[in-house]
Amino acid sequence: MEAGEQKDQNTTGDATNSEQQPFSKNKQKKLLKQQRFEAKKAEKKALMKEQKKKEGERKRKEWQDTLESLPEEERSKLIEARKGLRKERMEKRSEEKEKKIERLTRAKENGQKIVIDLEFSHLMSSNEINSLSQQIMYCYAVNGRSPTPAHLWLTGCSGGIGSQLQMLPGFDKWIIEKENGSYIEAFQGQKSNLVYLTADSETVLDILDCSKIYIIGGLVDRNRCKGITMKKAQEQEIQTAKLPIGNYLKMSSSQVLTVNQVIEILLKFLETRDWKESFFQVIPLRKRCETSSKADDGVAEEGDTDEKDEQDSKKRCVEVDAELPEKLDVLPKLTTDTQPL
């Protein structure tokens, strides 16, 4: 009995020591770097919020001072003029919303089907799941603005990512398909039309086929899960393909694109039918080396999300929709080559 108790104590001690075993120096550096980044990000967010508050107060005071400095008649005219501008702005927004709904409804009937596979949330941290939900919001925003939108599907909308998506403003009203199950279940009888986009594929995607259903891996993994989407596609015996980025430009050290960048590339191609133009409009300059017809294959993969890419996306992906709060509508859309997505 005593020997058994001693064995149990040793086992417990070994487990405790194993749990308390310190991280490697490399892991500690990565954790420290991530902590510094998160602290800096929180500090920057708080600073921007404070600046926005001060700017609002300044504008209100400026408006009040202007009114007080005018005679009653001119003051009334100015107030009415401002009301007129606000009404005009709301009417324009309403018109844009109607056009957007019309485009997305048409896409639902005959647009290119693109799936974001969300069955990887169990591999991600809460911060990574939050990053992915933000990317999906940008996907919906840019698709709504596109003159040739696709019909977007979210499959595997359960667990952590499902809860996070429900927190997005207006998510329940999005014109998008949401499935708790897998894309295999969602497209029963259409398995031959499924094409998983992954950098590990040997097949280069030459053109988008409207009869095909293209799948993008919704995974923010900080480069931990290499080749996971290719393995999944092979196990499910579905087709794979990679974007022909390597035919048009060389990528720098980071060859992985965010989910919203992949969506925007596909949407640009649907609009222009030109891969080169699509890549150069979307892929950030810092990720490019030089143009080349025999460059390295740099395609959208299940890999990392670049925090800088995510910040740039916030500047470009504007959701012009009355369903979303006004805060989401005021983000400027950048169109210069020096500040790409």
Separation between Cα atoms, residue 53 and residue 51, nearest integer Å: 5
Question: What is the pLDDT confidence band of residue 51, given thresholds at 50, 70 and 90?
Answer: very high
The predicted-structure confidence for 140-153, as pLDDT tens digits, reads as follows 999 999 999 999 99
Has residue 161 been placed in a domain? yes
Predicted confidence at residue 145, as pLDDT, reads: 94
Assess whether pLDDT exceeds 80 at residue 8: no
The SS3 call for residue 196 is strand
Residue 24 lies in a domain: no
Q: Residue 255 domain-assigned? A: yes
Q: Supply the mean pLDDT for the chain.
A: 80
Cα–Cα nearest to 300, from 319, 331, 275: 275
Torsions phi, psi of 4, nearest 5? Answer: -65, -45
Question: How many structural domains does the chain have?
Answer: 1
Decide: residue 44, CB within 10 A, 0-12 exposed, 13-18 middle, 19+ buried.
exposed
Decide if 240 is inside a domain: yes
Tell me the percentage of the chain whose pLDDT exceeds 70. Answer: 76
The DSSP symbol for 24 reads P
CATH number (domain holding residue 254): 3.40.1280.30
Q: Does the residue 17 lie in any domain?
A: no
pLDDT value of position 25: 81
Q: Is residue 163 part of a domain?
A: yes
Asked whether the predicted pLDDT for residue 17 surpasses 50, the reply is no
Note down the domain range covering 192: 111-287
Instruction: Give a yes or no: residue 300 inside a domain.
Output: no
Residue 266 lies in a domain: yes
The torsion angle over the Cα atoms of residues 50, 55, 61 and 63, rounded to 10 degrees, is -150
Give me the active site residues, please. 221
Q: What is the pLDDT of residues 275-285, one digit of tens each?
A: 999 999 998 87
